[in-house]
Structure 1
Amino acid sequence: MADIHLYTAATMNGYKPVIFLEEAGVPYDLTFVDFANQEQKAPDYLKLNPNGKIPTIVDRFEGRPIFESGAILWHLAEKYGQFLPSDPVGRSEVMQWLFFQVGHIGPMMGQAMYFQHIAAPNGHEEPFSIKRYVDESRRLLEVLDTHLEGREWIAAGQYTIADMMIYPWARAYVWARVSVEGLDNLKGWFDRIDARPAVQKALTIPKANPHFWDEKADASAFAKENAARFASDVKSDR
């Protein structure tokens, strides 16, 4: 039995711990959390993650669950001694960019996706909200592009959990409908991570969603399914 039991789904947050585990070569057990059946809200799952979201891990060796993707990657990096510098300055730099993703890129791009792919097809077209979140997402990608000038990786001069945290969200600019035109440093960083076999494998676990990343993918069927799955999340005052 593996030390790590991962509960996840095929979302930007859900792919993050899979990327770490595949990159680190750590064995793990996986449970797919089915949003269509509201498994993330089931009583047994809420005992592991009181927020009813994914991902969650159970560290069987320590006998405890850990939720929130940033906390999970931090825990795994500490546990396995990989993808996190040992020096205080390097560790601090990694954590700053980890929190940059948690506090900015994830929420802003997530809202851009929500208003375009869930609210709008369920009868709540909000042009102001869409523009607000798409514009802010673009600004954040510009921050990354500027930071990556002359750098191969996000922090500490090496590939770390900061890259793993930011990549699934920033790379999903396609699904968020955010332009990356002119952001050549960012595109180069995408290319470097795209070329990592462990990352490409991780993006198929628990299943692949090419609609998030590939501009040429036919997203029509997936978009309808996705909008229907989360229709109950759209509040109506009618």
Structure 2
Amino acid sequence: MTAYTPPKVWTWDAESGGKFASINRPVAGATHDKDLPVGKHPLQLHSLATPNGVKVTVMLEELLDAGHDAEYDAWLINIQEGDQFGSGFVGINPNSKIPALLDRSSDTRVFESGNILLYLADKFGAFLPSDTKGRTETLNWLFWLQGSAPYLGGGFGHFYAYAPEPMEYPINRFAMEAKRQLDVLDRQLADHAFIAGADYTIADMAIAPWYGALVRGDIYGEAATFLNAGSYSHVNRWVDAVYDRPAFQRGKMVNRAWGEESEQLRERHAASDFETQTWDKIKPADE
């Protein structure tokens, strides 16, 4: 392998970066004017069913199952087509990353998926303990996920599955970190039913879309086998419990635009949409 010598001053090469090179750039801000659609509910979510997007749709579906008035409109942001760089979306999230939430009841914008979970938990008084100790333990794990997931996705996932060519050093470096994170979770779950204790919380909703998808083999090709993910028995037990929840199953479908068409609910505006608006039922005849 040819050794790489960094230049004195880095310049951007738009052709580098692998699978997602076309949507990455070293500057912020909008690239085009585009207003966001507005639905009938106070909560307006603009997202895509990546692990970070699924966190929030699972939370909203869990709130509805728990009897809260958390109806919402979910609009698809297709990051491969650059929707995240439209002026309306940038107005909600200047970082141009999904998901982003606008609460029209208070004209509050909320970005960063972990912060959206925390905002909704506080707004509805749900899935976050009210006592200081329990709340802090839950937030310990929420912030653990927010710091750890970039190593899993942008680190291991990128170099293992998406980089232009496989490179031994970064794959080994991030595989080691991914396995360390799985071990952290496995040790915690050995003595706890859920991540932060006996109860299901926003910590589980944040972590399961990332590490659950990994151990189930839903992301990064053969990564589950490569990392021997089946050996983390406590993680796998917990993943099964979380994935079996009806709200989790629904949340994974919202803003999904790939895979089985019957599991794609590209937009969500009412509970009945899961029965009537999946892509297999509404896709145009010429697609």
TM value normalised by structure 1: 0.83
Alignment check: 8 A CA contact 1:6 1:58 kept: yes
> Any idea what the Cα deviations from partners look like across 1:31-62, whole Å, max 9, x if unmatched?
10011210111222111101110000001111
- Closer, same or farther in 2 for the Cα pair 1:200/1:210, shift >3 Å? farther
Instruction: Decide which structure has greater helix share.
Output: 1
User: Which portions of structure 1, spanning 4 or more consecutive aligned residues, are displaced by more than 6 angstroms?
Assistant: none
Question: Does residue 191 of structure 2 align to residue 150 of structure 1?
Answer: yes
Measured after TM superposition, the shift of residue 77 of structure 1 is 0.3
Amino acid at match of 2:194: W
**Partner of residue 97, structure 1:** 141
Amino acid at match of 1:22: E
**Partner of residue 245, structure 2:** 196
CA distance in 1, matches of 2:100, 2:61: 16
* CA RMSD after TM alignment: 1.5
Question: Does residue 64 of structure 2 align to residue 12 of structure 1?
Answer: no
Match of 2:119 among 75, 82, 87: 75
Alignment check: 8 A CA contact 1:22 1:202 kept: yes
Measured after TM superposition, the shift of residue 147 of structure 1 is 0.6
| Other structure's SS at 1:82 match | coil
Aligned residues: 207
CA distance in 1, matches of 2:237, 2:166: 34
What does 1:1-238 correspond to in 2, within 5 Å?
1-25=40-64, 26-104=70-148, 106-110=149-153, 111-119=155-163, 122=164, 124-173=165-214, 174=217, 175-176=219-220, 177=223, 178-207=227-256
Measured after TM superposition, the shift of residue 96 of structure 1 is 0.3
List alignment gaps of at least 5 residues for structure 1: 212-238
TM value normalised by structure 2: 0.69
Query: Identity, % of aligned pairs?
Result: 36
Amino acid at match of 1:165: A
- Closer, same or farther in 2 for the Cα pair 1:207/1:46, shift >3 Å? same
List alignment gaps of at least 5 residues for structure 2: 1-39, 65-69, 261-287
Measured after TM superposition, the shift of residue 208 of structure 1 is 6.7
Alignment check: 8 A CA contact 1:10 1:209 kept: no
